[in-house]
Amino acid sequence: MTGNASDLESLCFNAMPMPVSSLEDYLESHSTPAGDVADAVERWAHLHTAQPQMVCGPYEGRLLSLLCRTVRPQCAVEVGSFVGYSTLLIATAMPPGGRLHTFEVNDERKETILRHLEQAQVSHAVDLHIGDALTLIPTLFEDNKRTIDFAFIDADKRSQQDYYDLLVPRMRPGALLLVDNALWGRKVLDLQHNHDRDTLTVHAFNEYVQHDARVENIMLDVRDGLLICSVL
Ligand SMILES: C[S@@+](CC[C@H](N)C(=O)[O-])C[C@H]1O[C@@H](n2cnc3c(N)ncnc32)[C@H](O)[C@@H]1O
């Protein structure tokens, strides 16, 4: 590209701010798509569940799978499978022989999750545990053995710190721990007006992680806020 300095400067500074929806469209259209099965699972959630917005969606889902592919976990954990959307995206990025343990407390979701994993051809890589992750994780992973390489917490927000405190001592140094909904509909940005219990709990958890010497953390403005922690 040719041009004088002021042309180049104006190219840098004269861009008009874009509406957010255009930004999201642009970001998504320049990211690898989630894929046909994931799209179908998201559609299924919209048709058959009362809270389809619980699905993390293609953009965050693709980030999860990209990070998982980078870490190459032998052992990954997901808390909150719902209909298996994020589960299948993480599972597709697992290396050969790696296992993803996903936890879902609602037993009515079992058949749906298994069917969706089958459709995505990732059943072989996933252990679905139906029950409360808070009681199941200590029975499956020994404290301080540090065997988990990758984890995604996306369950009830009031127990976020409990999941986190169960997982961190079980994760190897360098492992990645991701926590969804860190911005809680951006309510955490204005605590004066948003002092409901859930907002305060999410904020208290964010503060807890910020002061936790066991991790290095970064919060991203991805969808509802994604907190990424590298375990030290
Ligand atoms: C936001 S949804 C998960 C969405 C999913 N990660 C996705 O992006 O497709 C949260 C799920 O966590 C489950 N859940 C809540 N508390 C749980 C617990 N203590 N143990 C396991 N699952 C739990 C809920 O039943 C719900 O299906």
**Structural tokens at position 42:** 């998201």
For the CA of 57, the nearest atom of ligand 1: 8
Tell how far the Cα of 103 is from the centroid of ligand 1, in angstroms: 8
- Distance from C-alpha of 3 to C-alpha of 17, rounded to nearest angstrom: 23
pLDDT band at 102 (very low <50, low <70, confident <90, very high): very high
Closest CA to 161 of 209, 106, 125, 196: 209
In the predicted structure, residue 182 carries a pLDDT above the cut 60 = yes
pLDDT band at 118 (very low <50, low <70, confident <90, very high): very high
In the predicted structure, residue 14 carries a pLDDT above the cut 60 = no
Helix H or strand E segment including 226: strand 226-231
Residues 2-31 as b/e (b if ≥16 CB within 10 A, e otherwise) read eeeeeeeeeeeeeeeeeeeeeeeeeeeeee
- Whose CA is closest to atom 18 on ligand 1? 132
Type of residue found at 156: D
pTM of this prediction?
0.93
Closest CA to 197 of 152, 156, 153: 156
Q: DSSP letters along 180-223, please?
A: E-TTGGGGGG-TTT--SHHHHHHHHHHHHHHT-TTEEEEEE-ST
Q: Does 105 sit in the ligand 1 pocket, CB within 6 Å?
A: yes
Q: What is the pLDDT of residue 113?
A: 98
Tell how far the Cα of 221 is from the centroid of ligand 1, in angstroms: 21
For the CA of 163, the nearest atom of ligand 1: 19
- Distance from C-alpha of 201 to C-alpha of 199, rounded to nearest angstrom: 5
- Distance from C-alpha of 37 to C-alpha of 117, rounded to nearest angstrom: 9
Decide if 131 contacts 155 (C-beta within 8 A): no
In the predicted structure, residue 187 carries a pLDDT above the cut 70 = yes
The residue with greater pLDDT, 76 or 10, is: 76
The CA-based angle 36-40-44, given to 5 degrees, is 170
Decide if 145 contacts 189 (C-beta within 8 A): no
Q: At what angle do helices 36-48 and 110-119 cross, to 10 degrees?
A: 160
Q: Does 228 sit in the ligand 1 pocket, CB within 6 Å?
A: no
Question: For 139-166, what is the mean pLDDT?
Answer: 96
In the predicted structure, residue 17 carries a pLDDT above the cut 70 = no
Q: What is the pLDDT of residue 1?
A: 47
Q: Does 56 sit in the ligand 1 pocket, CB within 6 Å?
A: yes
